[in-house]
């Protein structure tokens, strides 16, 4: 064995220090990747039905791509973007009013672009979190804000999302000693992974909670426009919301622009300015041509409506297939995720019985034995996340894939 490098002992404790890289623990999504590779190797030529993917399966719309091409040719767009120009800011303000009913957003002081929501969620903790401060996060959920808060010496208090509460957090269950040191409440609706949507009443309670406990609210609205009926619900449409927080919007899911990395932060002027000041020390801004292409998307919400209609159609089919297989599947009001209770056991057609200790075991069995990839969540009960962004060429191919899922689950009796 090669001698250990002195660099091993220079690594920061926040990533494990001298122990970094020595753990045998495997990240959940890495386990899924390994299981998929093993399934492909064991069944050469057999199709993997990937319902675990969490990004759009189609390209950005042609008009968005054409806008990028045209903007790329403009010499004035070639340099550092820093905190951006007026194009995306103004489109964001128009979008919030036109699509979400949020009036009075000042594009000059209350909007800044982000290099995707993930980047914004990693920057914002630096504006709010001191050592010892608490961040209130929902679980299951997207951990990036909490991870960076902990890097800064902050602490995370998890609020479980449970089915009996429609996957909305119980704000009244936060312990008093945590509330005293809480700085931020982070929310995400429509939610990943549960697919749950918030309500105007819930957001009103969030605003009241924030005022009463003097905490900031960060609402990650990456899936906000992917709704199956009615208009998208923005936290900023809630009376008083702009006094307590900001909202993150993304072009990734709404306009099939995942790899383009562009979105915006909008809301409270002080928080937006603080975000921008830290962003100045983090990046040099997203390429202006990409920002302008994203602005084209935000000015054309009919693009998102077409995308959402496709997901709604697929969701109807997947709910039907899973319900027929015995799962308790209910169509969410938005997002592209279907979150269902994981079975505790299964009986095969030949009478063989299988017991599952958690959702991860179910997920591993599905990919290994049925070549169906899902994402398990065991954070607040055992659940499986199915995504309707599976690759399909057209409506006919969608139907073929859904029929294949049904065929692979047939002959199995699940117990819950």
Quote the pLDDT of residue 31: 85
Quote the pLDDT of residue 360: 96
CA dihedral angle for residue 58, residue 285, residue 269, residue 145, rounded to 10 degrees: 60
Residues of the chain with pLDDT under 50: none
**pTM check: above 0.75:** yes
Quote the pLDDT of residue 53: 86
What would the pLDDT profile of 248-265 be if each residue is shown by its tens digit? 999 999 999 999 999 999
Quote the pLDDT of residue 371: 97
d(CA 370, CA 377): 19
Phi-psi region of 295 (alpha: psi -120 to 50; beta: other; left: phi over 0): alpha
What residues form DSSP beta bridges with 156? 135
Quote the pLDDT of residue 337: 98
Quote the pLDDT of residue 29: 82
Cα–Cα nearest to 379, from 134, 33, 53, 138: 138
Quote the pLDDT of residue 2: 66
DSSP 344: S
What would the pLDDT profile of 71-125 be if each residue is shown by its tens digit? 999 999 999 999 999 999 999 999 999 999 999 999 999 999 999 999 999 999 9
């Amino acid at each position: 064995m090669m001698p250990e490098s002195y660099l091993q002992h220079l690594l920061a404790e926040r990533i494990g220090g001298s122990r970094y890289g020595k753990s045998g623990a495997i990240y959940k999504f890495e386990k899924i990747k390994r299981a998929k590779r093993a399934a492909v190797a064991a069944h050469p030529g057999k199709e993997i039905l990937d319902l675990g993917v969490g990004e759009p399966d189609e390209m950005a719309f042609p008009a968005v791509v054409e806008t990028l091409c045209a903007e790329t040719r403009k010499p004035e767009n070639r340099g550092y973007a820093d905190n951006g120009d007026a194009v995306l800011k103004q489109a964001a303000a128009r979008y919030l009013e036109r699509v979400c009913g949020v009036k009075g957003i000042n594009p000059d002081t209350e909007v800044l672009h982000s290099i995707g929501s993930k980047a914004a969620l990693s920057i914002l903790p630096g504006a709010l979190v001191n050592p010892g401060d608490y961040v209130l996060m929902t679980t299951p959920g997207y951990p990036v804000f909490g991870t960076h808060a902990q890097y800064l010496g902050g602490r995370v208090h998890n609020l479980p999302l449970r089915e009996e509460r429609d996957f909305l957090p119980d704000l009244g269950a936060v312990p008093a000693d945590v509330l005293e040191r809480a700085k931020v409440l982070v929310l995400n609706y429509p939610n990943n992974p549960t697919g749950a949507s918030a309500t105007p009443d819930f957001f009103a309670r969030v605003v009241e909670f924030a005022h009463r406990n003097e905490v900031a609210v960060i609402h990650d609205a990456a899936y906000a426009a992917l709704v199956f009926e009615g208009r998208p619900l923005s936290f900023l449409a809630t009376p008083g919301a702009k006094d307590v927080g900001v909202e993150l919007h993304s072009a990734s899911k709404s306009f099939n622009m995942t790899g383009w990395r562009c979105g915006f932060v909008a809301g409270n002027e002080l928080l937006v300015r603080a975000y921008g000041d830290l962003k100045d020390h983090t990046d040099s801004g997203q390429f202006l041509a990409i920002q302008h292409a994203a602005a084209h998307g935000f000015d054309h919400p009919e693009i998102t409506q077409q995308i959402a209609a496709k997901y709604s159609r697929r969701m109807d089919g997947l709910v039907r297939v899973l319900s027929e297989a015995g799962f308790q599947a209910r169509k969410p009001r938005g997002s592209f995720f279907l979150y269902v209770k994981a079975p505790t056991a299964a009986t095969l057609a030949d009478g063989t019985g299988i017991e599952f200790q958690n959702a991860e075991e179910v997920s591993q069995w599905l990919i290994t034995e049925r070549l169906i990839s899902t994402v398990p969540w065991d954070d607040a009960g055992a659940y499986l996340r199915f995504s309707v962004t599976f690759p399909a060429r057209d409506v006919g191919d969608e139907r073929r894939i859904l029929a294949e899922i049904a065929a692979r689950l047939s002959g199995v009796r699940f117990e819950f």
